[in-house]
Amino acid sequence: MKQDVRKLTFDKLKDYVLETGLPAFRAKQIWEWIWVKSAHNFDEMSNLSLTMRAQLAKDFDILPISVQTDQKSNDGTIKLAFALHDKSLVEGVLIPAEDRMTACVSSQVGCSLSCKFCATGYMDRKRNLDPAEIYDQVVEIDKQAKRHFDVPLSNIVFMGMGEPLLNYKNVLQSIERITATDGLNMSPKRITVSTAGIAKMIIKLADDQVKFNLALSLHAANDVKRNQIMPINETNTLKVLKEALLYFYQKTGNQITFEYIVFDNFNDRIEDAEELWHFAKSIPSKINIIEYNPIAEAQYQNTTADKLEQFADFLKSKKLTVNIRRSRGKDIDAACGQLANKN
């Protein structure tokens, strides 16, 4: 199988161009076609000669993702099923709002973490996505934003299928291309990577001094409850996570976002809110309280509107920054925790 040309660094591409006997500036042209113009095949590269295009096609592949299906929710949310070159499927979501257009992208085919409330957690992890496959999701979701709302993407969240920090290298490479001036030129401050909580990889993010935002899927602020719904907590306890998050803040200066889904009669009492306050108060952070979107595989239900408000009000009374995130795209299984390739 030929190598995907998008796995080459610019220097490697330049070496190839020179070895082929072409002038060095051709490397920049090819690079722009690949990353700025998102060319899906070499025939599109119209400022290269037919001979050059044929040579590239002989030596390399381009393996773009393609939109297999798209569904539009009553609230404007759009869910896309992306087919990969090996026939695997992943999902991405466009979430429109008055002040932003957000792409929710996947980082793995399936997931290995088995979080009990998440549809993706009931799938097997088949493989990691390549940087270009993550990049392509952003390109395709941006097209949807422009087509349906006449507005480009403003934000990206790595909150789709998979655990981004278990695909560390590829996720960071995709963000490098998304933020590069010879890529999509998006600000890293507009990108959030969400993790279920892998402490050693959070420390690695800190040491790499990343510029993007970090979110932690918390959902319970005591180990017994968190172990029940997120098995990863057994090896990454709240104490260990807190130390890693403080280190991340110290190294990057970026505050953490805590995501907390409020389940009925599980983690929605004032005592639970108090535990969350004790955990979060020493970490520069904000808290997103998230409505739960029930899935067929799990018995959890969303808490009542009253309990949710009381929970949020308690945290606000403790001077924490709190937002309540309402479900989007629930009617097409596009909401938080519902992605499982069901179309």
| Alpha helix stretches (DSSP H) within 129-198 | 131-149, 168-179
Q: Which of 39, 61, 83 is the last residue of a domain?
A: 61
Residue 263: DSSP 8-state: B
Cβ count within 10 A of residue 290: 22
d(CA 342, CA 66): 17
pLDDT the model gives residue 254? 96
Tell me whether residue 340 is in a domain: no
Contact between residue 105 and residue 131 where contact means Cβ atoms under 8 Å apart: no
> Which residue in the block uniquely carries the two structure tokens 């979701």?
141
Which residue range forms the structural domain that includes residue 124? 66-332
pLDDT the model gives residue 329? 53
**Catalytic annotation, residues:** 91, 336
d(CA 237, CA 315): 22
- What is the token pair recorded at 51? 């001979």
Report the phi/psi class of residue 178: left, alpha or beta, with left for phi > 0 and alpha for psi in -120 to 50.
Answer: alpha
In terms of Cα–Cα distance, which of 233, 162, 173 is closest to 199?
A: 233
Contact between residue 267 and residue 303 where contact means Cβ atoms under 8 Å apart: no
Contact between residue 283 and residue 238 where contact means Cβ atoms under 8 Å apart: no
Do 38 and 107 lie in a common domain? no
Do 26 and 154 lie in a common domain? no
* Amino acid sitting at position 63: L
Do 292 and 206 lie in a common domain? yes
Do 193 and 49 lie in a common domain? no
Q: How open is the CA angle 295-301-307, to the nearest 5 degrees?
A: 150
Do 26 and 117 lie in a common domain? no
Tell me whether residue 338 is in a domain: no
For each of the chain's 343 residues, which pLDDT tens digit applies?
Answer: 789 999 999 999 999 999 999 999 999 999 999 999 999 999 999 999 999 999 999 999 999 999 999 988 888 899 999 999 999 999 999 999 989 999 999 999 988 888 888 877 778 788 999 999 999 999 999 999 999 999 999 999 999 999 999 999 999 999 999 999 999 999 999 999 999 999 999 999 999 999 999 999 999 999 999 999 999 999 999 999 999 999 999 999 999 999 999 999 999 999 999 999 999 999 999 999 998 877 777 788 888 999 999 999 999 999 999 999 876 655 555 545 444 545 4
How much is the CA Rg of the chain, to the nearest whole Å? 21
In this structure, the chain runs to a length of 343
Please tell me the chain's helix, strand, coil percentages from 3-state DSSP, rounded to the nearest 5.
Answer: 40, 20, 40
> Collapsing DSSP states into helix, strand and coil, what is residue 114?
coil
pLDDT the model gives residue 337? 47
Contact between residue 329 and residue 73 where contact means Cβ atoms under 8 Å apart: yes
Do 291 and 305 lie in a common domain? yes
Do 153 and 198 lie in a common domain? yes
Contact between residue 210 and residue 172 where contact means Cβ atoms under 8 Å apart: yes
Based on the number of CB atoms within 10 Å of its own CB, is 53 exposed (0-12), middle (13-18) or buried (19 or more)?
middle
> Collapsing DSSP states into helix, strand and coil, what is residue 168?
helix
Tell me whether residue 56 is in a domain: yes
Do 126 and 87 lie in a common domain? yes
CATH at 266:
3.20.20.70
Do 36 and 52 lie in a common domain? yes
Contact between residue 263 and residue 302 where contact means Cβ atoms under 8 Å apart: yes
Domain tally, the chain: 2
Strand partners, 196: none
Contact between residue 161 and residue 107 where contact means Cβ atoms under 8 Å apart: yes
Residue 234: DSSP 8-state: G
Do 208 and 284 lie in a common domain? yes
pLDDT the model gives residue 89? 93
Cβ count within 10 A of residue 231: 16
Do 167 and 298 lie in a common domain? yes
pLDDT the model gives residue 115? 84
Residue 130: DSSP 8-state: P
